[in-house]
Structure 1
Amino acid sequence: MAQHTQAPRLAPLRPPYDGAIQKRLDAIMPDGVPPLTLFTTLARNPRVFERMMSGGLLDKGTLTLRQRELMIDRTTARCGAEYEWGVHMTFFGDRVAITKEQSASIIRGTPQDACWDTENDRLILRMADALHDTSTIDDALWADLAAEFSDEQIIELVVLAGYYHTISFCCRAFNLDMEEFGARFDAA
């Protein structure tokens, strides 16, 4: 997975931020944590920033936190978006009990790796791979997914994969610098 070696292509906004942007940043960032470079870069286009932040799926939906994070982590890893993968692994990896072996498998492994001990986890990884590789889900995988997940959960997983492809494209195309706290691919 190629990592950028160039400087960021867009400078993020610097404080003080416009009132609407500041309000949105305050709503999405934990207290005391500065806004992510991704957010302040997207905020250079307030319309896109608002739409992207309004369309996020980090709220409580039909999936467990672990299910959501596995889809996000596998999708961003497959896209080579170390920035976004690193932010999610840092903020959520321990909370959803992703082991060191699973973290490495998310980046370089397969859903059949021994570290994946539930069919649920393996199916999410297979789904992320299928969507990334073919932009669809074949009938056999669909049948497996339908046996394990509700229609609502399948819809949410597909939309998560698409949304995090978009986020990955932004991270990679903008050549975002890694957040200092973000996990790194080579450390997994």
Structure 2
Amino acid sequence: MSRIAPLEPPYEPEIQEQFDRIMRGAPPLMLFRMVASNARAWEKFRAGSLLDRGPLTLREREIVIDRTCALTRCEYEWGVHVATFAKAAQLTEPQIRAIVLDGAQAPCWSPPEQALIATVDALHLRATLNDDEFDTLSAHYDDAKIFEIILLCGFYRTVSYLANGLDLPLEENAARFPK
């Protein structure tokens, strides 16, 4: 169990509707139930969420999220995303391993994907990009995508803080970090 008790069913109709919209009818994740146990936190979490379709492709989005979660050692969120989106994002087993165990120079990544991973790494380590890193990123991605990349890194670092700090138990059907 997590360090803060999650919301338990039956949920208020408004919360159930929000869960249904996010989860498309599947049972809500522990993360959502935990955050929803605090009305203010749930409102802010949903307002800052990047769960909608943005300018990145699903593959680009998942590379950014998965790498952010790997760097923060958030197996909970990484595992949910890999189990839910890796196949649709066409991430191969070697890429799933590399996103956790290797850096941007792993041979399984294309140059634009290497730029994505290097950006996530730089933001994780220094909370900024130097001119060369930004130039490399902008050679592959337009301004709208760059904003989204940076926002995703920050949002999923926050998600990682929540999941790690509250010691959320891993979801039953989620992937596990490679050894």
TM norm structure 2 = 0.96
Query: How much has 1:138 moved relative to structure 2?
Result: 0.7
1:44 correspondence with 2:44: no
Tell me if structure 2 keeps the 8 A contact 1:111–1:125.
Answer: yes
Question: 3-state DSSP class of the match of 2:167?
Answer: coil
**Is residue 2:6 matched to residue 1:12?**
yes
Residues 4-153 of structure 1: pairs in structure 2 closer than 5 A: 7-31=1-25, 33-116=26-109, 118-153=110-145
1:160 to 135, 149, 152: 152
Distance 1:60 1:41 in 2: 24
Provide, for residues 114-142 of structure 1, a one-character-per-residue CA deviation record: whole Å limited to 9, x for no partner.
111x1111111000000001100011011
Structure 1 residue aligned with 2:175: 183
Unaligned ranges ≥5, structure 1 = 1-6
Taking only the aligned residue pairs, the percentage that are identical comes to 41
After superposition, the C-alpha distances for 1:82-138 in whole angstroms (9 at most, x for unaligned) are 00000000110000111111111111101111111x111111100000000110001
Conserved 8 A contact 1:9-1:174: yes
Task: Point out where structure 2 has 5 or more consecutive residues left out of the alignment.
Answer: none
Q: Is the 8 A contact 2:5 2:34 kept in 1?
A: yes
Q: Is the contact made by 1:105 and 1:113 (CA closer than 8 Å) also made in structure 2?
A: yes
Q: Secondary structure at the match of 1:13?
A: coil
Question: Aligned letter for 2:40?
Answer: R
Cα deviation, residue 53, structure 1? 1.6
TM-score, normalised with respect to structure 1: 0.92
**Is contact 1:21-1:46 (8 Å) kept?**
no
RMSD: 1.1
